[in-house]
A = this chain, B = another copy of it.
């Protein structure tokens, strides 16, 4: 009998059935070599004794392990959506996920370090605050494939998965142009990692349409507050543009709320667009036209990128660009004539 407090081991299962430990191992790994009857008895005993395999011992002994480390910020809704989809994608491909969170007191580097302690086969970093240089040095030390999701550019050390922010913003511009807008301002927050790509999308689209660019540069983290400041700047002008594009949904939300407080109706007087299609965008009363960054696809692509590097360790890291889709809602309308 066991002491009672120690979880059952394979040896306990084997002893219970009067068979050898390695036979139990065979059955649990679904390998040939055990009779159908033995197989059944083992599974019964596993359930009866509430046996669960010791993951630490497994990774210790196995030649290859099937654990994907994922670094994410619990505070970011967009990232947690991607985490969910990574779970699904990994499960589909027979891998399990080990999470490590970044918080105000835990950096990405700390989180990655922890995952390396678990000997994860690869590490996926979602929306990392680390720049390409820092990630490159991390990738070198880590000695496992690294995949950065959400920002960064093609490089030689790690894979990058990001949405085509330029296309997404360009589609917003085109959507507004089709509605008849010509004076469209863009709220840029350079502090946000993917800001440069999105800004480029705005500038390119405006250029193609032969319209003058009108960029408001705003410092600080790119959240609601940023949109509020942008509204202040716009309201101080002699006349408002007929449409304002924000670089993400949070800024767009701040913009809408601040405009509403100033008595400027959206979309009647000003149309507003965002980027991400976060939960805020879908709130009735906000109902934001935005470029949807599909978290499902981001997660799947990230997992596949990691597995590709695992299958072929010599493969060169790639940049995986996921197409956003335009979500038209009621924050945009034709301009008043």
Task: Identify 17 new A-B residue pairs, CB closer than 8 A, beyond the known A257-B285, A261-B285.
Answer: A50-B141, A52-B116, A54-B117, A55-B119, A56-B56, A56-B57, A56-B60, A60-B60, A75-B84, A80-B80, A87-B101, A87-B103, A228-B284, A257-B284, A258-B284, A258-B285, A261-B284
User: Which single residue of chain B is at the shortest CB-CB distance from A50?
Assistant: B141
7 A-B pairs within 8 Å (CB atoms) are namely A50-B141, A56-B118, A84-B104, A87-B101, A99-B99, A256-B285, A258-B284
The complex places the Cα of A73 from the Cα of B224 at a distance, in Å, of: 24
Q: Is A7 an interface residue (CB 8 A)?
A: yes
In whole angstroms, what is the CA distance A100 to B70 when docked?
A: 11
Q: Name the B residues within 8 Å of A254 (CB-CB).
A: 284
Give the nearest-CB partner of A257 in chain B.
Answer: B285
CA distance A50 to B100 in the complex (A): 19
> Which A residues lie at the B interface, using CB under 8 A?
5, 7, 50, 52-60, 74-75, 77, 80-81, 83-84, 87-88, 91, 96-101, 103-106, 113-114, 116-119, 141, 143, 224, 228, 253-254, 256-258, 260-261, 283-286, 313
Q: Which of B56, B77, B117 contacts A77 (CB 8 A)?
A: B77
Contact of A143 among B5, B57, B101, B261 (CB under 8 A): B5
Interface pair B105/A88, CB less than 8 Å apart: yes
A100 touches B99 (CB 8 A): yes
A54 to B118, CA, bound (A): 6
- A80 engages B88 (CB within 8 Å): no
CA distance A285 to B74 in the complex (A): 25
Closest residue on chain B to residue A7 by CB atoms: B143
Cα–Cα, bound, A55→B117 (Å): 5
Nearest neighbor of A6 in chain B, beta-carbon distance: B143
Contact B119 A105 (CB under 8 A): no
In whole angstroms, what is the CA distance A57 to B57 when docked?
Answer: 7
Docked Cα-Cα span, A101 to B81, in Å, equals: 11
A117 touches B52 (CB 8 A): yes
A119 lies within 8 A of B88 (CB): no
> What B residues does A60 contact at CB under 8 A?
54, 56-57, 60
Residues of B contacting A284 in the complex (Cβ-Cβ under 8 angstroms)? 224, 228, 254, 257-258, 261
Supposing A50-B141, A54-B60, A54-B119 touch, asked if A84 and B88 sit within 8 A by C-beta, the answer is no
The interface residues of chain B lying within 8 Å CB-to-CB of A256 are 285
In the complex, the chain B residue whose C-beta lies closest to that of A97 is: B101
